[in-house]
């Protein structure tokens, strides 16, 4: 930074800062007599309009006030906003070194690391912040929420014991701890925390759902079944809690084989949610038609030897099961259900340049690789990525697609029995909507297969559960993996954050094949789906 650059920034400040005292503050900056707070105030003004100019100003500031953590923090933000990530990281780490409890600096650094796919480094920053910042409930809740958002459940789980020791009666913290334990497969611990949360606040809607998925119900006097029945009879709970209770109770009754009662409970739960969260069939049809008639995208170049694997299909068609089975191999890493593809498709638009496609591919591969041990194959199992396979094919031409299929009647029943509470899944609460969505999915998959260069493996759920070794061997060969010498036990699976959290940790079984037949007399809509 030279004197001319600094003078230019001072002139810009004179144009932007108005009001009493502004001229005096700027004069102090110019003549070197400004206090630390003056530099901060001026930098925050520039950050809103010209981050590069703010970086110039703050570069001078940190030389004048080298021990001021707040100035290094602001400089880090200015550099990050100016697309200088390496310099930004250095400044933010300097701020944290000066003040380990500087939450804003740690969170800014965590977001920067997240952009770079450095999730392990991100977790280390948040764990360090948790150890150094004031021990408050607000801080604890923020740290857990951020780690879970970034799918760092192991690190989040390492914090919950101490946090609950300090705040044992906070319903939100108990619910979060229960959800983390469930994702990690610690089912008994999850039950304990979720029950405690609901005892304090029965309106913790997601806690009811999670509680129902901590185990398979096998007895009519199951403690959690009794809790769900009692909650279903209440009239003082909010609509979200009542919906979650309905789906949770329906799951429990299904486990017990109480089909007629399960249907009645689930009918009410689905109808209530569908009534307040309708799905636009016409919009879906327009989307499918638009995707089928979209112009072909040029293919970018391949990035390295890593093979991105996208497991797609209708939700509840076996995507989590095949992901968990493949991820037992040390050369396979799963990233769960990422949300990048749809976001990148929106950002790229219908006619992206080759440079834009290359940049998107580089970014996505960074998010897949992250900063843990390298792997040959990295899985994104967001099933709804089928909507944008042309984008995947264009930005990552080395990608491979596993398309999961399942008898639509079993799939529909499983969907209808779950509560997803996400706008992308608004079609799953009505059998006619499910059929329409499934027709769109089939049309798009047929279109992609006829048009794209990316290899696609169709994997049938029924084959996977009846002949798991043969089916997994086929999938492994498709990915170019060496034949597996043996299949590790299910306990070696990693974090699972989907509705299949319990099932995916059990031994592979075929109990769900043809499950729809037990419901056919109560739900005649299922038979109609068999003709689709």
Domains (ranges, CATH) in the chain?
Answer: 284-529 (3.40.50.300)
* Strand pairing report for 332-334 and 456-460: unpaired
- Looking at the DSSP bridge assignments, the partners of residue 458 are 403
Tokens describing residue 445: 């998959």
Q: Distance between CA 305 and CA 2 in Å, rounded?
A: 44
- In Å, how far are 80, 126, 364 from 114, measured between CA atoms? 13, 12, 12
- In Å, how far are 1, 60, 64 from 32, measured between CA atoms? 16, 10, 8
C-alpha of 172 from chain center: 20
How do the residues of the chain divide into helix, strand and coil, expressed in percent and rounded to 5? 65, 5, 30
- Looking at the DSSP bridge assignments, the partners of residue 313 are 404
Q: Distance between CA 512 and CA 351 in Å, rounded?
A: 43
- Looking at the DSSP bridge assignments, the partners of residue 460 are 405
- Mark residue 304 as left, alpha or beta (left: phi above 0; alpha: psi -120 to 50; beta: remaining): left
- The parts of the chain modelled with pLDDT lower than 70 are 1-3, 19-20, 484-506, 531-532
**DSSP code for 403:** E
Residue with tokens 């043809």: 514
**Phi, psi dihedral angles at 460 (to 5 degrees):** -90, 130
Task: Quote the strand ranges of 449-528, DSSP E.
Answer: 456-460
Residue with tokens 């009645």: 264
Task: Quote the strand ranges of 279-372, DSSP E.
Answer: 307-313, 332-334
The per-residue b/e assignment along 16-47, b for 16 or more CB within 10 angstroms, e otherwise, is bbeeeebeebbeebbeeebeeebbbbbbebbb
**Is there a contact between 249 and 416 (Cβ–Cβ < 8 Å)?**
no
Amino acid 497: pLDDT: 56
Tokens describing residue 19: 């009001």
Summarised one tens digit per residue, pLDDT across range 39-60 is: 898 889 889 889 998 998 899 8
**Is there a contact between 71 and 57 (Cβ–Cβ < 8 Å)?**
no
Q: Distance between CA 403 and CA 311 in Å, rounded?
A: 6
pTM over 0.85: yes
Element holding 69 (H helix, E strand): helix 69-81
**Phi, psi dihedral angles at 313 (to 5 degrees):** 135, -175
């Amino acid at each position: 930074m030279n004197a001319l650059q600094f003078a230019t920034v001072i002139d810009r400040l004179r144009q932007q800062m108005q009001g009493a005292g502004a001229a005096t503050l700027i004069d102090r900056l110019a003549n070197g007599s400004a206090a630390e707070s003056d530099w901060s105030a001026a930098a925050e003004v520039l950050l809103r309009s010209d981050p590069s100019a703010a970086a110039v100003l703050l570069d001078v500031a940190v030389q004048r006030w080298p021990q001021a953590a707040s100035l290094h923090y602001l400089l880090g933000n200015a550099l990050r906003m100016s697309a200088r990530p390496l310099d930004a990281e250095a400044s933010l780490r300097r701020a944290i070194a000066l003040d380990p409890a500087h939450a804003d600096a740690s969170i800014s650094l965590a977001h920067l690391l997240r952009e770079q796919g450095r999730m392990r480094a991100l977790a280390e920053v948040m764990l360090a912040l948790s150890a150094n910042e004031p021990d408050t409930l607000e801080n604890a809740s923020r740290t857990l929420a951020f780690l879970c958002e970034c799918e760092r459940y192991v690190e989040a789980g390492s914090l919950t014991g101490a946090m609950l020791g300090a705040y044992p009666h906070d319903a939100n913290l108990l619910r979060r701890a229960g959800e983390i334990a469930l994702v990690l497969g610690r089912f008994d611990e999850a039950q304990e925390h979720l029950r405690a949360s609901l005892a304090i606040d029965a309106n913790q809607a997601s806690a009811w759902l999670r509680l129902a998925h901590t185990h398979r119900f096998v007895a009519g006097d199951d403690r959690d079944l009794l809790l769900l029945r009692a909650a279903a009879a209440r009239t003082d709970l909010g609509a979200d809690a009542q919906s979650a209770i309905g789906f949770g109770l329906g799951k429990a009754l299904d486990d017990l084989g109480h089909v007629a009662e399960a249907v009645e409970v689930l009918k009410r739960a689905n109808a209530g949610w569908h009534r307040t969260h309708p799905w636009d069939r016409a919009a879906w049809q327009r989307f499918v038609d638009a995707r089928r008639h979209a112009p072909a995208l040029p293919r970018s170049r391949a990035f390295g030897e890593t093979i991105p694997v996208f497991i797609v299909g209708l939700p509840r068609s076996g995507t989590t099961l095949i992901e968990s089975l493949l991820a037992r191999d040390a050369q396979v890493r799963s990233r769960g259900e990422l949300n990048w593809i749809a976001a990148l498709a929106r950002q790229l638009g219908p006619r992206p340049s080759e440079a834009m496609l290359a940049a998107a591919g580089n970014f996505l591969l960074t998010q897949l690789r992250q900063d843990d041990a390298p792997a040959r194959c990295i899985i994104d199992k967001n099933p709804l990525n089928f909507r944008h396979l042309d984008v995947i094919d264009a930005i990552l031409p080395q990608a491979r697609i596993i398309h999961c299929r399942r008898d639509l009647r079993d799939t529909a029943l499983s969907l209808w029995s779950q509560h997803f509470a996400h706008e992308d899944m608004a079609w799953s609460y009505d059998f006619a909507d499910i059929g329409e969505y499934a027709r769109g999915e089939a049309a798009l998959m047929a279109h992609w297969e006829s048009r794209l260069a990316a290899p696609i493996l169709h994997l049938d759920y029924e084959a996977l559960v009846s002949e798991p070794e043969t089916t997994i061997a086929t999938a492994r060969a498709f990915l170019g993996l060496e034949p597996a010498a043996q299949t590790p036990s299910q306990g070696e699976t990693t974090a699972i954050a989907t509705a299949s959290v319990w099932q995916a940790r059990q031994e592979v079984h075929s109990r769900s094949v043809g499950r729809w037949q037990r419901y056919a007399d109560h739900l005649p809509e299922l038979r109609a789906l068999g003709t689709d």
